[in-house]
Amino acid sequence: MQGNYERIIASIRIARERGATLRVGPELEIPGYGCLDHFLEGDTVLHSWEILGQILANEVCKDIVCDVGMPIIHKNVLYNCRVIIHNGKILLIRPKMWLANDGNYRELRYFTPWMKHRKTEEHFLPRIVQHVTGQTKVPFGDAVVSTADTCIGVELCEELFTPASPHILMGLDGVEIFTNSSGSHHELRKLYTRVELIKEATLKLGGVYLYANQQGCDGDRLYYDGCAMIAVNGKIVAQGSQFSLNDVEVVSATIDIEDVRSHRTWKSRGMQAAEAERYERIEVPMALSGEGQDFLGDVPISKGIEVRYHRPEEEIALGPACWLWDYLRRSRTQGFFIPLSGGIDSCATSVIVYSMCRLVAEAAARGDKQVIADARRIAGEPAESIWMPTDPRELAGKIFHTCYMGTENSSSDTRGRAKRLAEAIGAYHIDLNMDAIVLAVRNLFAVVTGVKPKFRVHGGSEAENLALQNIQARLRMVLAYMFAQLLPFVRGRTGGLLVLGSANVDESLRGYLTKYDCSSADINPIGAISKTDLKKFILYARDAFKLPILDDFLNAVPTAELEPITETYVQADEADMGMTYDELSVFGRLRKVEKCGPYSMFTKLLHEWGTTLSPEQIADKVKRFFFEYARNRHKMTTLTPSYHAESYSPDDNRFDLRPFLYPVRFPY
């Protein structure tokens, strides 16, 4: 947790330099939000107390109220807590009351919610902290902090999203400043909901809302997308970046607390406040506004700003790119390897890597020492190197490796597109034919069984046709890992490469992939992004990144190229699947987001598609989808860990928990 300690201290130092008197950090910032089952280990709690002791003892934390997060065991029960500290003392430990336990979140697996609302108890501190603070026990529970000039209340992440959020009752009891420490992950088009909730929290109620969120990859499929904010009376007055390579980012604002008081003068609010239940107030002998009337003389009050939103295609360019960089530097590998097929999916993954290289180059140009040091280490530069990673194509040439693995079924079009794309982004590219390996496997099977399988176009059965396609796909996975292990050695370096997958969310949902083929990889930046959104991203990147080669990918028909091409037959993805990618997106959202089974999906689609399709046609499409989904669900158990970006992701790890053995023949 030493790195987290250093980042916390750095954020407090920056806040103090800006004249701040209140600092709020993200949820569980001392150990990190993504500890998962490690929260159940006593070591995690012990080491969190050790880090808190170091924070309390650090001189940089003087004369500023700090809100930090960690797990705490109170009376043998584990809670997700905020610890409010000031001048080496703990003022209050505030446990989370409403836990996130949907989708990617499993907080009830580790923590227990605090159920004694507006009540506190005494918490006896461990001796390692007693020696620092001189305190034996501190208040633990649902209370607020009262300074000489205002009152501060705590709200934790999910509590903002609940119908009866704590800020409502706290605000009616006179709390003027609300802090929210969050561990909220990125999802396409999600930020608007978060911003509107923060604005609404203080629009009717009046008040100042300080929202802090983690930013970066915390060791799993999620990217926490920052965007720290400060709102006053329903207006955003400060906003941080949503995607960044920065280890520390501080958002600050200067506010006039009298604006809150004037906002709260309307009578109906006063009548409700007059009968509000009382919160216990923990008093701290300091004023957030400083001493004297001249404190704000030369400091302008922060005004409302227009909230910055990225378009979905920009989110795809930035979010997965930041996630890849965090994963790459923390795994201490030497770069990436991808089988580049000439299709739009592996193209999109490659362009995201190029976007990552662009972000690294921009950070290096700004003089970000951490990014420069990480880039030099990953690129295999010697310790004394002065090389600067300011050219994204040069950086890609050092750390990104692409390979076209052709067979007799591959076309010159896909081979040429793959080569030109690699050249455009600067990747280290290999072009090979793997027919000899495929033929060797086919011949081995023929020798052992006496039967030589044939493709369908050559008179073979469906079983033979599918098996011959799967041989090619799986051999590409084997070759990918071999090249990923040995290419750094070939180039005179040490270490290995991370293999990138490129199966999109729609193909995974439908099961249109071979189990343990080259969709099996170390990580996949597009595994929860739809084909429709990927096309929009490629169109955006064509212009934003000046890559005209991407037009060729947009105009190409998606094809697996696993069957022989004849004068009358060319394999096409949508024809193979029996449904379009746009239809798959609709099915996916209805199945997961709208929680529809076959019947309810059919009834909803009657209204959506009823003007163009008959009820029988709609029923056939729904049946086809659920048939393919059911018989391919087992493939979800082996999906490559993917960047979570879509609300209908079929990720079986923890987001979409369902059986993987289904009855395929539904009695409709």
CA distance linking residue 562 with residue 571, whole number of Å: 8
Decide if 418 contacts 401 (C-beta within 8 A): no
- Is 648 within 8 Å of 584 (Cβ atoms)? no
Whether 454 sits among the annotated catalytic residues: the reply is no
H/E stretch holding 137: strand 137-141
What letter would DSSP give residue 88? T
Q: What is d(CA 204, CA 171) in angstroms, rounded to the nearest whole number?
A: 10
Tokens of 626: 């659920």
Of 216, 288, 242, 238, which is closest to residue 67 (Cα–Cα)? 288
Beta bridge partners of 499: 337
How is 90-158 classified by DSSP, letter by letter?
Answer: EEEEEE-SS---STT--GGGT------TT-EEEEEPPHHHHHHH--SEEEEES-EEE-SS-EEEEEETH
The widest CA-to-CA distance across the chain, in whole angstroms, is: 95
- 189, two tokens: 């088009």
> Residue 31 to residues 38, 114, 141, 245, 331: CA-CA distances in angstroms?
10, 20, 21, 20, 18
**Catalytic annotation on 341?**
yes
Find out whether 522 and 498 touch, Cβ atoms under 8 Å.
yes
Q: Of these residues, 29, 61, 96, 398, which one is catalytic?
A: 96
Rounded-to-integer distance, Cα 439 and Cα 442, Å: 5
The encoded tokens of residue 106 equal 């499993």
The three-state secondary structure class of 339 is strand
- Whole-angstrom Cα distance, residue 550 to residue 536? 11
List the catalytic residue out of 27, 158, 583, 628: 27
Residue 317, C-beta contacts closer than 8 angstroms, at least 6 positions apart: 351, 352, 355, 537, 540, 541, 544
Cα distance between residue 336 and residue 324, in whole Å: 9
Q: How many helices (H) and strands (E) does the chain have?
A: 22, 19
What CA–CA distances, in Å, run from 506 to 21, 64, 146, 325, 587?
Answer: 49, 50, 52, 25, 9
Catalytic-labelled residue, pool 182, 341, 502, 530: 341
Q: 313 an active-site residue? A: no
One of 157, 217, 347, 357 is an active-site residue; which one?
157
72-97: b (≥16 Cβ within 10 Å) or e: bebeeebbbbbbbbbebebbbbbbbb
Is 280 considered catalytic here?
A: no
Q: What are phi and psi of 57, to 5 degrees?
A: -85, -10
First to last CA, the chain: 55
Which residue bears the tokens 């009050």? 301
Task: Give the sign of the dihedral formed by CA 467, CA 470, CA 476, CA 481.
Answer: negative
Who contacts 67 (Cβ-Cβ below 8 Å, separation ≥6)? Answer: 22, 23, 24, 25, 82, 83, 84, 154, 179, 181
Residue 563 DSSP code: S
Contact yes or no for 343/558 (Cβ under 8 A): yes
Burial of 62 (0-12, 13-18, 19+ CB in 10 A): exposed
Which residues are the active-site residues?
27, 96, 157, 341
